[in-house]
Chains A and B, each alone.
Chain A
Amino acid sequence: MKNSLLVPCSFILLFGISTILPFGCTSDQLPPPSLEFCDSLNTPPILYDGNIDAIVNTYCAVTGCHLSGFPDGDFQSYAGMLSRLDNGKINTRVFAQGDMPPAGSPKMTQEEMDQFQCWISNNYPEN
């Protein structure tokens, strides 16, 4: 029995391969994260109390997001954030993947991003 989808599917496969091949294979690595600027920012050390809590309450712990009962963490307190700081999820979503805060929500300013990033890299002290 002739397979009527064989020809178009083979064509799609060949087309796909010929489109991908020119882009090629690379073995690249990103440069190391340039966190040297954190040395000056962390003097005195950025703390949760009084600094990061304001940032989180503005961009994260807002209606529809990381509040009480939210499955992906209640970020209204340091304790609420701790497990996701320890497992690196917050760092991954905010800095590596860059999809938190999600598109459509207000984005942190560069200064706030730097403070948040340097606070995390300094083992996120509470107070």
Chain B
Amino acid sequence: MRNILFTFFMLIFILPLTAQEYVHNTFKDRWVINTFSVDMLPKRKLDIRITHRFGDLAGDAGGFQTFFGLENAEDVLIGFEYGLLDNFSMGLFRAKGAGDLPQLLNGTFKYRILRQQENGMPISLTAVGVFTLSTAKKQEGAEGLVSFPKFTHRMVTNLQVLAAHKYSDRFSMQLSAGYTHRNLTLHNEENDLYNLGLATRLQFSKVIGLIVDFTLPVNGPQSPFSDSDASEAYSPALGIGLEIDTGGHIFQLNLTNSQGIMPTDYIPYTRNAKWSDGQFRLGFTISRMFNL
């Protein structure tokens, strides 16, 4: 009888504890390809990252002449992210910029709202904010965005909510919704853009996995649902990549049609990026974690 009671009370205490067991590594990295992932940087860890997008692999601007785009750099990004708390991190990144706004300084913050549990919470939910400032020199009288009539016209912000579920060590899926606000746009363009996103991971082994990431703008000429003439030039952003975890480094090699790296860049400006015209490119990311 005592044994039965003992076992019963142990179960009462242990079961809730097992329900607290959080799921780890829904994705291996804090970014998928273009979008962010729900995963957070642990407290006191510094993640340094270099991302590169090459030129068009095929089509008029690609092919053997440019060695399949490897001789061009559409966008480059270098920066770091720091885990202030287990559920809050901040980052600072510098990007060349591939859209109409060049020379971008980007601040990011990431906050984990919910975390998937083994026997409890079914999803992980994370909010991400990106704040971009163009440091390009103001061109008086220019007709493009760099005329910056006001200082605030250099700024673009992006907010995203990411929800993901890890089905197994081999498969995870993430849905996202985002909002991008540009303080200044060209004539007849939308300052506020909304988008949906989908990302997925298929792990082949402990080391290598396949990642796919899709961003769908839902308004403005950027959206495939738009019937304006301008929407011919735009395409939604799709990325497919291989992710390699070598212990200390996460190395990613991908193919994507988008040129810009930051969401404030690629969501409004993925133009001339048609897969059927060979306007997609190789890209890579190297990231390394340090303890601080």
Contacts and interface: CB of A to CB of B under 8 A. Distances in A.
Contacts of B21: none
A1 B42 CA distance: 13
B185 A30 contact: yes
B143 A88 contact: no
A33 interface: yes
Interface in A6-44: 6, 9-10, 13, 16, 20, 23-34
Contacts of B189: 29
Interface residues of B, number: 49
Interface string A76-117: 000000111011110010011111000100000000000000
Contacts of B188: 29, 32
B19 interface: no
B110 to A, nearest CB: 12
Contacts of A28: 149-150, 153, 183-185, 191
B44 A27 contact: no
Interface in B73-128: 82, 84-85, 90, 100-102, 107, 109
B142 interface: yes
Contacts of A23: 151-152, 155
A29 B184 CA distance: 5
Given A29-B187, A87-B61, A5 B107 contact: no
Interface of B: 43-44, 55, 60-61, 65-66, 71-72, 82, 84-85, 90, 100-102, 107, 109, 131, 136-137, 139, 142-147, 149-153, 155, 157, 181, 183-189, 191-192, 233, 271-272, 292
24 contacts: A1-B44, A5-B292, A10-B84, A20-B155, A23-B152, A25-B181, A26-B150, A26-B152, A28-B149, A29-B187, A30-B144, A32-B187, A71-B66, A71-B71, A82-B60, A83-B60, A83-B61, A86-B60, A87-B60, A87-B61, A95-B144, A96-B145, A98-B144, A98-B146
